[in-house]
Amino acid sequence: MGQSLAAPAVARATTARSAGSQNPAPRPRRNWAHTRASGFALILVLLALWEASSRLGWVQGQSWPPFSAVLVAAWRGTLGGELSLPLLSTIGRMLAGYAIGCSLGVALGLLLGANRWIRWIVLPVVEMIRPIPIPAIVPPLILFLGIDDALKVFVVALASFFPALINTMAGVLGVDDVLLQTARTFRVGWSRTVLRVVLPATLPAIASGLRVAIGLALVVTVVAEMIAGSAGIGYYIVQMQYALRPDAMYAAVLCLAVTGYVLNRLFLIGEARLMPWMGRG
């Protein structure tokens, strides 16, 4: 991952250097192809196809509005609060569940990685529960947790818990034995070894677990909102579907796409700040 990111950076640096000295002509084209702009260009082409398919009647259907109508609905919904307020409440629930699930996941992951006996006892249970699809357990959970925030925060926490746990545990198991032996040589205690040796060495693995979890958390929050209760962007999407307002429905989907993208970028920025040694190959 880090290596694949590093490669274009090297190419970019080389291009810039050579262009500065002798051959300025090909620089903009090669640069453009190597930047994120090329990815956005594909998005623009796809959106133009969407617009054309609706305007020119390639796709017949009452639930296929042109993209421009979706943009208008997104703009109105964001300004009027009809869309932005549910989105904010969704993000709030998501972050609450994510924080709870990840904290527990990392804590238990450290424990499982550090102790073989606990791992043997707990891991089968984890492997049994982990593959259960969240939408399948929402209806029975309603009986115990109701249909409001408690239910949603719980399922988001559950969904975030497993990637955090599994990655943390794998990270602990992958810690260089030399580090542990060194700690043992210096007679560092168990808890201090976990905190000062194992945890820092495991941070990259934890970070990748947390990043997987944040993508899942958003999806699970929205799915839970679509199934139960009447709050958040998930409910808004279903409501607009039933109200025959597909433009507003797709506007909400668009907002979710942007939210997911922004969350991922923010995560990467935070990761680069807090763990500057990561992503350097």
Rounded Cα distance, 89 and 185, in Å: 51
Q: Which stretch binds other proteins (CB under 8 A): 98-106, 114-122, 143-151, 259-267?
A: 143-151
Least Å from the CB of residue 231 to other proteins: 9
Determine contact, residues 73/247, Cβ cutoff 8 Å: yes
Least Å from the CB of residue 106 to other proteins: 30
Q: Which stretch binds other proteins (CB under 8 A): 141-149, 169-177, 184-192, 273-281?
A: 141-149
Query: Under the criterion CB under 8 A, does residue 60 sit at the interface with other proteins?
Result: yes
Query: Under the criterion CB under 8 A, does residue 4 sit at the interface with other proteins?
Result: no
On the CB side of 209, how many CA atoms lie within 13 Å of its CA? 30
Least Å from the CB of residue 68 to other proteins: 19
Out of 1, 21, 125, 242, the only residue in the binding site for other proteins (CB under 8 A) is 242
Out of 235, 247, 252, 256, the only residue in the binding site for other proteins (CB under 8 A) is 235
The residues, any chain, with a CB within 8 Å of residue 223's CB and separated by 6 or more, are 134, 135, 138, 234
> Which of 262, 261, 254, 259 lies closest to 71 in space, CA to CA?
254
Q: Which stretch binds other proteins (CB under 8 A): 174-182, 201-209, 210-218, 231-239?
A: 231-239
Least Å from the CB of residue 158 to other proteins: 18
Task: For other proteins, give the closer residue by CB, 128 or 143.
Answer: 143
Rounded Cα distance, 64 and 204, in Å: 43
- CA-angle at 160, arms to 155 and 166, nearest 5°: 130
Query: Under the criterion CB under 8 A, does residue 228 sit at the interface with other proteins?
Result: yes
Query: Under the criterion CB under 8 A, does residue 41 sit at the interface with other proteins?
Result: no
Query: Under the criterion CB under 8 A, does residue 180 sit at the interface with other proteins?
Result: no
92 to 81, 87, 88, 89, 149: CA distances (angstroms): 16, 9, 6, 5, 10
Rounded Cα distance, 76 and 72, in Å: 6
Task: For other proteins, give the closer residue by CB, 114 or 226.
Answer: 226
At 244, which amino acid appears? L
At 162, which amino acid appears? F
Query: Under the criterion CB under 8 A, does residue 143 sit at the interface with other proteins?
Result: yes
Q: Which stretch binds other proteins (CB under 8 A): 1-9, 19-27, 170-178, 225-233?
A: 225-233
Least Å from the CB of residue 265 to other proteins: 32
- Orientation angle between helical segments 149-173 and 84-114, nearest 10 degrees: 40
Rounded Cα distance, 10 and 264, in Å: 24
Chain residues in the site for other proteins (CB under 8 A): 60-63, 139, 142-148, 226-230, 235, 238-245
